[in-house]
Structure formats: structure tokens, C-alpha cells
Chains A and B, each alone.
Chain A
Amino acid sequence: MRVLLVDDEKELVATLAERLALRDIYARWACTAEDALKAVDECEFDVAVLDVKIPGMSGLELKKIMERKCPETRFIFMTGHGSEADFKTGVAEAGLHYYLVKPVKLEVLVEKMKEVLQNEGEAR
């Protein structure tokens, strides 16, 4: 499994990537949409875990751009936001199972990543 983690909190995504690597999951991280798209140009990811809000762009906007570049990538959203509006938007776009509120347990995230790959097309 190849995973791309996108969140403006560098220490969060770097640590997550390291923990995933210890579980034999290849993970790269990016803190901006620009860096995320550069990563996508270099590698095809099976799963992208995106924060709903990234500097300069929403996670949903980034997802749409990434989908054009890499149609096979599946998406999971993470957010620290608790507003009902954000939740409804996120769930509408990602589906209830793939919209997670931070802090997320790593085991839950890994389970969701495996699930989203198994359920092809459900997250779209």
C-alpha cells in the first residue's frame, strides 16, 4: 500500500508516516497542496489521507485535482473541525466511513485505508 498524507501540521504527518513505515506501509507526506501534487507527479498512491483544510485550498478541491491525475487513488479525509456544516460537506463527498475527526487512532486509520481499498469506488 502506498499512502500520501496531507496536512499542514508537519510533525503530525511526519510522525504518522514513520509509524506507517514501521507497519510496512509506504507513506509520504506533504504540508501544502503544491507539495502534495508534486508527490503525485512522482508516485502513484493507493490512498491519500487529506486534511479538510490545507493552506490555500480545501481538501476537497485538492481531491478533485488529484483524481484527474490519478483516478485510481482512494481518499480519506481527516479534520480537526467540529462544525456540522463541515461534517455534512465532508461526509457527502467522502462518505461517512472515510471522514475521520482528529485525533485519529492509527489502528483506525490503517483499518479505514484497507477498507477503502477493498471497497473500490465507494469513496468516490
Chain B
Amino acid sequence: MSELQFFGTVSASISHEIKNVLAIILESSGLMEDLLLMAEKGNPVDPEKLKALAGRVKGQARRADAIVKNMNAFSHTVDYPFRSVDLGEMVGLTVALAARMSSMRGGKVEFEPPGEAVSVATSPFHLHMQLWGCIDSALSHLDENCSLRVQCRKRDQGAAVLFTGLKGTDCGELGVPPPRHQPELLRLLGARVFPSEDGRGFCLELPGEAPGYRP
């Protein structure tokens, strides 16, 4: 997947989610209209029902706001070729952006934010691309009835993102690094991928500063 294809994939996923939100808002307001029309014809409306529908519309509007906020954050990752980022926030954003992909693949992704701030200096966009690729790959190898757990940790010379909950297998079988572009992506990030200690996942290790980083 090229960088443009990745951007397109994420954009398409976001637009699909927003369409769903709009569809729910449209139907909920349509139902309110139906009930009010019935009231005009003498059928009383249950105020609790209207309240519930209004609450539903509000909830979906908030959902759309969160989706657009994530879209905005993702869009701005191309503002700078390299910068110092909060890895916990980056991983959290990628997990949120990949939620629909995960759901459609029948998988659940759980992110555990780190207990401390974890920073790396890297290319934000390419890190998102690598993280997305890792989630995409991991979802194909989830153990039965397991969720994909994603954690990030500070390491001596950088940081690591752990993906666990997979069927016990080796890195090669996982297809990690995944598609063709991944070796180049790993080189750009100065990252490496290797199986986790328990053999049920893999680790994406990142340097404190990506090669070529200029503050």
C-alpha cells in the first residue's frame, strides 16, 4: 500500500462512519416527525420516547465530533516530516481510526495507554501507516475469542509498541513485516519488528529519534 492509498483507505473509513452517523440522525429525526404527525392526528406522544430520540441524536452528533476530531488529527500528521510525538496518543489515534476496519474483520482492539509519557521523534504520518499495517496484519491472526491488545512502553533507547492476543506463531508466519512497502517503512522509521516473548504477538520497536530526524 502506498502512502496515498493509505491516506485514501483511512479517509474512506472515516467517511463511511460519518455516513452511518448521518443515517442514524436522519432516521431518528424522521421517527420524531412520524410521532409528532401522529400526535397531530390525536395519538398522544410519549415525552420519554421523544427524550430518548433527542438523546440519540445528541449522542450521534458527539460521535461525529469525535470522528472528525480524529480525522483532523490524522490529516495534520503530514504537516511536518518529522517531529517529537507522544507515542501513547499516536497509538490511541491509530486504534481509533482502525476501529471500523477491526469491527468489520470481526476483531476487537484494546489499547492500554502507557502509565507515563512516551515520546519518540519520528515521521508521524509514516508511524501511523506502520501502526495501521501492524493492526491490519494482527487482525488476520487473532486467537479465537481474543481481542488484540496494544500497549506501548518506554525503552532505554526509544519505545516499543506491543501487539498481543495472536495465535502462537512466529514472525514469518505472521507475515510481519507485512506487505511489500513495510521494509522501506521500517527503515524510514528506524524501527524493527520481532516476535513477543510469549510468542503470541509481536513488538514494534522504535528508536528515540528516527534516522534523518532534524528538529
Q: Could you tell me which A residues sit within 8 Å of B by CB distance?
A: 8-9, 11-12, 15-16, 18-19, 22, 53-56, 80-83, 102-104, 106
Contacts and interface: CB of A to CB of B under 8 A. Distances in A.
B104 interface: yes
Interface in B6-52: 12, 15-16, 19-20, 22-24, 26-28, 30-31, 34, 38
Contacts of A19: 27, 30-31, 34
Contacts of A16: 27
A81 B100 CA distance: 12
Contacts of B22: 102-103
A15 B19 contact: no
B200 interface: no
Contacts of B140: none
A53 B105 CA distance: 10
A83 B12 contact: yes
Contacts of A22: 31, 34, 38
Given A18-B31, A80-B19, A104-B23, 20 more contacts: A8-B103, A9-B23, A9-B24, A11-B24, A11-B56, A11-B60, A12-B23, A15-B27, A15-B28, A15-B31, A19-B30, A22-B31, A55-B104, A55-B105, A55-B106, A80-B23, A103-B19, A103-B22, A103-B23, A106-B30
22 contacts: A8-B104, A9-B23, A12-B23, A12-B24, A15-B24, A15-B28, A15-B30, A15-B31, A19-B30, A19-B31, A19-B34, A22-B38, A55-B103, A56-B104, A80-B19, A80-B20, A80-B23, A81-B16, A82-B12, A82-B15, A102-B22, A103-B22
B19 A102 contact: yes
A53 B60 CA distance: 20
Interface of B: 12, 15-16, 19-20, 22-24, 26-28, 30-31, 34, 38, 56, 60, 103-106
Contacts of A55: 103-106
Contacts of B15: 80, 82
A97 to B, nearest CB: 20
A8 B60 CA distance: 15
A18 B16 CA distance: 24
A106 B32 CA distance: 13
A18 B24 CA distance: 13
A54 B104 CA distance: 6
A9 B34 contact: no
A82 B17 CA distance: 12
Nearest to B27: A15
Contacts of A11: 24, 28, 56, 60
The 6 closest A-B CB pairs, nearest first, are: A56-B106, A80-B19, A103-B23, A15-B27, A80-B16, A102-B23
